Chains A and B, each alone.
Chain A
Amino acid sequence: MSGNSQNINRELSIKSTTENLHQVRNFIREAALDAGIDEQNIGKIILAVDEACTNIIKHAYKYSPEGTIVLSLKANRKKIEIKITDEGEHFNPNIVPDPDIVEFHKQRKVGGLGMFLMKKLMDEVRYNTISSNKNQVVLVKYVS
């Protein structure tokens, strides 16, 4: 069978606007399908990457559409790794606690949901500062 051990290496660069989120989702879907990942996991990966990019647009670039977000993806049937790099404001993930869900709803605290979802949906979520002006979030999921 062809495609059994397909190794995928792809990159996508977008401007930091929510209008481009659908492009990010299509990029992830196509690459994950080509890698042979199943539909259910693809759904989870797409949502996690959407949340990561949304956070960058909102917090790192504060909705300025001039920023750049670079996604670099490596995948095979067993594992997918997406590195998402931006040049926006540095973000400290440690100041975002895991929400207590009931309290969260009571306080109508909408922020922080995205990161909570990312951690629930992926196996690894790592934040790196790769240079003085570059931030990176690395999302990993083992799918078999």
Chain B
Amino acid sequence: MVDFSVDTRGSEPVQIIDVKGYLDAHTAPELEGVFNKLIDEKKFQIVVNFSDLTYISSAGLGVFMAYVETMRENNGDIKFSNMNESVYNIFDLLGFPMLYEFYKDEKEAVEKFNQKGK
């Protein structure tokens, strides 16, 4: 069994996605399912909390690339928070910091959305 889980929480309009464990080619479809559901529900302001994510491969990174434009086209975004160093290093290798916002803390990321909404 692969140790991975994904859950959503949060009050409108910002939704938090908690990813836990190992995000690889086997588990990435679960995360895609969550993004599809959020888009169906017209929820486009997303913070992904990585505090319990131990591992990510390019299949996981590809999910964010595949959905970010849809979120941005609808006045939303995908922002990242609480990432450990080893996971951040992989995002960094692939140039994500140029195009995505990373926050130490989930609250900061949520606030950023709320500021923009004012």
Residues of A within 8 A of B (CB): 18-19, 21-22, 25, 40, 43, 47, 50-51, 54, 57-58, 101-102, 104-105, 108, 110, 113-114, 116-117, 120-121
Within 8 Å of chain A (Cβ to Cβ): is B65? yes
Are A108 and B69 in touch, CB under 8 angstroms? yes
> CA–CA, A129 to B44, complex, Å?
46
Within 8 Å of chain A (Cβ to Cβ): is B71? no
- Size of the B side of the interface (Cβ < 8 Å), in residues, is 23
Are A102 and B98 in touch, CB under 8 angstroms? yes
Q: List 27 A-B contacts (CB under 8 A).
A: A18-B24, A21-B25, A21-B26, A22-B2, A22-B3, A22-B24, A22-B26, A25-B22, A43-B86, A47-B57, A51-B57, A51-B58, A54-B24, A54-B57, A54-B58, A57-B25, A102-B95, A104-B95, A105-B65, A105-B98, A105-B99, A108-B66, A108-B69, A113-B58, A113-B62, A114-B58, A121-B93
The one of A19, A43, A104, A108 that contacts B2, using a Cβ cutoff of 8 Å? A19
Enumerate chain B residues within 8 angstroms of A114, measured Cβ to Cβ: 57-59
> CA–CA, A51 to B94, complex, Å?
14
Enumerate chain A residues within 8 angstroms of B58, measured Cβ to Cβ: 51, 54, 110, 113-114, 116-117
Are A110 and B57 in touch, CB under 8 angstroms? no
Residues of B within 8 A of A (CB): 2-3, 22, 24-26, 55, 57-59, 61-62, 65-66, 69, 86, 90, 93-96, 98-99
Enumerate chain B residues within 8 angstroms of A50, measured Cβ to Cβ: 24-25, 57
Report B100 CB to chain A, min CB distance, Å.
9
Most interface-central of A113, A120, A121 (chain B CB within 10 A): A113
**Besides A25-B22, A117-B90, 8 new A-B residue pairs in contact (Cβ under 8 A), listed by A number:** A18-B25, A21-B25, A21-B57, A22-B26, A54-B24, A105-B65, A110-B58, A120-B93
Using A54-B25, A105-B95 as known contacts, say yes or no to A110 and B2 having CB atoms under 8 A apart. Answer: no
> CA–CA, A105 to B62, complex, Å?
10
Are A47 and B90 in touch, CB under 8 angstroms? yes
Are B95 and A54 in touch, CB under 8 angstroms? no
> CA–CA, A113 to B59, complex, Å?
8
Q: Lowest 10 CB-CB distances: which A-B pairs, in order? A: A101-B95, A18-B26, A110-B62, A113-B58, A54-B25, A18-B25, A114-B58, A50-B57, A105-B99, A22-B2
Report A15 CB to chain B, min CB distance, Å.
13
